[in-house]
Structure 1
Amino acid sequence: MSAMVVPGILQTEPCARAVLMGRRLRAESVDALLATRLGRQEILHRRPDPCQLVAVLDEGVLHRRVGDASVMRDQLEALVAACEQPNVRVQVVPFDAGSYVGLDGPLAIATVDGRSIGFLEGHLEGRVVENPNATTEMEAAWEAIRDYALPSNQCLDLIMRTAEKWT
């Protein structure tokens, strides 16, 4: 779940650079972090077993300018293209959903060797969550967030309409 920016694993290079530059880092630090971030995307394309990804974005992510208008348009078009892969789905929680648990901050859940591992992003660093009770709570929060999301076809339509506004 991401309420502020497109998740790094789905960011285009210009978008990722703009996000990292917003952290006011030195250029060499940005380059190293950018290479790492973009390198992680390989798991979505590896064969024969690509990672299955479901990303949920707050609608604000589609409207918050990161970089310039062309960066935003290209990023949103890249989200639509990513959804053409059978292993990637992007959902959007619309503005009219009001307050929901996803506004508490970004979270991710992965299944590793048959067990759930959580990750909570923080301002300075993230936190891995492995305690089964905590990951069960995170999974419940994740499902609650997804309950607010639009159906897939409506999400893609919203992303495409918003991309057109960034021209």
Structure 2
Amino acid sequence: MITDIESATPALCRLQLGSELRQLRQAAGLNGRQVVRKLLWSSSKLTRLETGDNASAEPSDVIALCEIYGASKEKRAVLQGYAAVTKTRRDWWQSAAYRPVIPPGFKAYLGLEATANVVQNYASEFVPGLLQTEAYVRVIYDHAHHGLTEGELDSLVDVRMTRQEALLREKSPLRLTAIINEAVLHRAVGGSTVMRDQLSHIADMASRPNVRVQVLPFSLGLHPGMNGPFVVLQFSDRTALRPIVYLENLSDAWVCRREGDVERYEEAFTDLQAMAPGPHESLKLIKEAVKEH
């Protein structure tokens, strides 16, 4: 439970609201189908509420669910407080400047990343987003999104740069562990100058106490990340939110919440950490790649 709702972000309130509503439904012995029949809702509406995927939550919907679940007066007040925050405040990525250029699947991820206290990222082709330089980001987006106006490209770059502020905040900075495939170091994205600056930036960020970077060398051969990149997000104990996995490909992006699947990715990341050289040896590989470029 959030102890200070007034200072909580809308993203955190949405996720916490969804988690507690799901727990209430399960405690009442009800499945989703039974609930939506009672309220004449679509099943997707309840799912979006329980996963925190809506931009905001209607207090009247929360009241209706609390009535069905037999929630206590105190619990109802707390959940209505969460809903009120989502209605009266907006996360930074919901601004008019960013909304048009951010796909729905990535908006869901931004809310999760903004709420997480630990991010574990295995990157196989690109530098992890939280460690990318502005020049590197611009080259990637310019290549991937043909037909963008200069303003739209600027907005996408701004989104990436704003996300990185979580690593630099004074109070409870986001903790990042990034495992980078060696191929990422040698792939010349944007040319030599862009790559030298990019790799030097990774080295600089890796000196921060909340950032750990490991490089997975070619010489290790087969490894648990060969099916592609992934991100595991973990949350503070005070939120009671379970770890979540984020995946993306050329045409889509999605969040995986199924407990068994999440555990597989957590185990894969743990294995990758054990296989890869530690931060000190990895830093040597990064510096060698800087010279190569």
Q: Please classify the TM superposition score into its range, dividing by the shorter chain length.
A: over 0.9
Match of 1:45 among 149, 165, 168: 168
Q: State the distance in 1 between where 2:165 and 2:179 align.
A: 20
What does residue 79 of structure 1 align with?
202
- 2:278 is aligned with 1:151: yes
The Cα of 1:113 is off from its aligned counterpart by 3.9
Q: Secondary structure at the match of 1:47?
A: coil
What does residue 96 of structure 1 align with?
219
Choose 110-119 or 36-45, whichever is displaced more.
110-119
Q: State the distance in 2 between where 1:14 and 1:69 align.
A: 12
Q: State the distance in 2 between where 1:39 and 1:125 align.
A: 22
Q: Secondary structure at the match of 1:5?
A: coil
Q: State the distance in 1 between where 2:220 and 2:251 align.
A: 29
Aligned-residue CA RMSD (Å) = 1.2
Give structure 2 stretches of 5+ with no counterpart: 1-121
Q: State the distance in 2 between where 1:103 and 1:34 align.
A: 28
What does residue 15 of structure 1 align with?
136
Asked whether the equivalents of residues 120 and 128 of structure 1 are also in contact (C-alpha less than 8 Å), the reply is: yes
- 2:284 is aligned with 1:161: no
What does residue 118 of structure 1 align with?
245
Choose 109-118 or 59-68, whichever is displaced more.
109-118
Structure richer in helix, relative to its length:
2
Choose 28-37 or 135-144, whichever is displaced more.
28-37
What does residue 256 of structure 2 align with?
129
How many positions carry a matched residue from both structures? 166
Structure richer in strand, relative to its length:
1
Identity %: 34
Please identify runs of 4+ aligned residues in structure 1 that moved more than 4 A.
none
Asked whether the equivalents of residues 82 and 88 of structure 1 are also in contact (C-alpha less than 8 Å), the reply is: yes
Higher relative contact order (CA 8 A, sep 6+): 1
Give structure 1 stretches of 5+ with no counterpart: none
The Cα of 1:129 is off from its aligned counterpart by 1.2
The Cα of 1:148 is off from its aligned counterpart by 2.3
Q: Which has the larger radius of gyration?
A: 2
Asked whether the equivalents of residues 105 and 121 of structure 1 are also in contact (C-alpha less than 8 Å), the reply is: no
- 2:189 is aligned with 1:66: yes
User: Under a length normalisation based on structure 1, what TM-score does the superposition of the two structures give?
Assistant: 0.94
Choose 59-68 or 142-151, whichever is displaced more.
142-151
Residue 273 of structure 2 aligns with an amino acid whose one-letter code is R
Q: State the distance in 2 between where 1:158 and 1:142 align.
A: 20
What does residue 51 of structure 2 align with?
none
Q: State the distance in 1 between where 2:143 and 2:278 align.
A: 32
